[in-house]
């Protein structure tokens, strides 16, 4: 990845942080786009401590103007964007389709689906002009199968998979690959806070490997999809779930 620039949204923690560190370790210059200045700057400092190159850009993927500014600053600083990981997302607190509200729907769709769409538009415009690029979208196991407690979240993630496949078909001939990852249960602070004390039991039942993924395992897949090692992989929604959707 030496000589390439990677843009990661939601790069301040969890899967995003792991992807930032993996890409930086492989030699990429990393743009950490994040709403939290504290966590974003902390990841940039981690990379710098290992003699890597990284900058933090404050960004909100729910706002088109913020996305456009994010792209402008990234290109201004590093010259181009060669790959992007659209990772920023939120969870749905309603837990049931019947108890969900318009506010639940609007919040989740604004970030998890519309945010990915708007980021892709800006990234694709830049990459098509350069004649090359790789985009990875963070979908979910919930984007591949029905999860009863995740109706709105799952609808958004199914939408991300659809956007990914459509973009892969439309722009593959212009040198830009678009893929999605579909993680299952991942051991992140957000996941642990959601499941509380029952996290270990939930993880043991979640997949045939009987454990949660570590963020670094997801970051490794993002690195591969961003790199030339996956040069003929396009339009894939890759489960990284310990075999959960294989059941």
What are residue 78's DSSP bridge partners? none
Distance (Å, whole) CA 157 – CA 140: 6
pLDDT at 62 over 90: yes
Using CA atoms, how far residue 99 sits from 85, 113, 143, in Å, is 32, 21, 21
pLDDT at 91: 87
Tens-digit pLDDT profile for residues 94-118: 878 999 999 999 999 999 999 999 9
pLDDT at 159 over 90: yes
Residues, the chain? 247
Helix (H, G, I), strand (E, B) or coil at 138: strand
Tens-digit pLDDT profile for residues 185-234: 999 988 888 788 888 898 899 999 999 999 999 999 999 999 999 999 99
Sequence-distant (6+) residues with CB within 8 A of 125 are none
- 153 part of the active site: yes
Mean pLDDT of 150-163: 96
Distance (Å, whole) CA 149 – CA 98: 10
* Rg of the chain (C-alpha set): 17
pLDDT at 195: 80
Nearest Cα residue to 182 out of 167, 166, 165, 205: 165
When pLDDT is cut at 50, 70 and 90, the band that residue 171 belongs to is: very high
Residue 241 has, within 13 A of its CA and on its CB side, a CA count of: 22
Nearest Cα residue to 179 out of 56, 38, 83: 83
Distance (Å, whole) CA 232 – CA 243: 24
Nearest Cα residue to 119 out of 165, 167, 158: 167
CB 174 within 8 A of CB 213: no
Distance (Å, whole) CA 61 – CA 160: 14
- In 10 A of CB 87, how many CB atoms? 28
Q: Which helix (H) or strand (E) holds 226?
A: helix 215-226
Using CA atoms, how far residue 159 sits from 35, 116, 120, 210, in Å, is 23, 10, 13, 28
Q: What percent of the chain has pLDDT over 70?
A: 100
Mean confidence (pLDDT) of the chain: 96
- In 10 A of CB 145, how many CB atoms? 15
pLDDT at 34 over 90: yes
pLDDT at 190: 82
What are residue 8's DSSP bridge partners? 32, 85
Which domains does the chain show, CATH number per domain? 5-186+216-246 (3.40.50.720)
Catalytic residue among 78, 85, 153, 224: 153
């Amino acid at each position: 990845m030496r000589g390439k620039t990677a843009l990661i949204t939601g790069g301040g923690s969890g899967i995003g942080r792991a992807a930032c560190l993996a890409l930086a370790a492989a030699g990429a210059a990393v743009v950490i786009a994040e709403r939290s200045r504290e966590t974003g700057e902390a990841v940039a400092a981690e990379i710098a401590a290992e003699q890597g190159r990284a900058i933090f850009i404050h960004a909100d993927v729910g706002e088109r103007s913020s996305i456009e500014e994010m792209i402008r600053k990234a290109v201004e600083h590093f010259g181009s964007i060669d790959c992007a990981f659209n990772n920023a997302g939120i969870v749905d607190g309603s837990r049931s389709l019947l108890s969900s509200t318009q506010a639940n729907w609007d919040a989740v769709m604004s970030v998890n689906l519309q945010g990915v769409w708007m980021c892709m538009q800006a990234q694709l415009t830049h990459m098509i002009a350069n004649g090359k690029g790789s985009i990875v979208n963070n979908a979910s196991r919930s984007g591949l199968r029905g999860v009863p407690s995740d109706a709105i979240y799952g609808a958004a993630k199914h939408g991300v998979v659809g956007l990914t496949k459509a973009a892969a078909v439309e722009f593959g001939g212009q040198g830009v690959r678009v893929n999605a990852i579909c993680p299952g249960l991942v051991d992140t602070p957000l996941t642990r806070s959601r499941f509380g004390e029952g996290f270990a039991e939930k993880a043991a039942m979640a997949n045939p490997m009987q454990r949660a993924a570590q963020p670094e395992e997801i970051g490794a897949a993002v690195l591969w999809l961003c790199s030339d090692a996956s040069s003929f992989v396009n339009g894939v929604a890759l489960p990284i779930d310990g075999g959960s959707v294989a059941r």
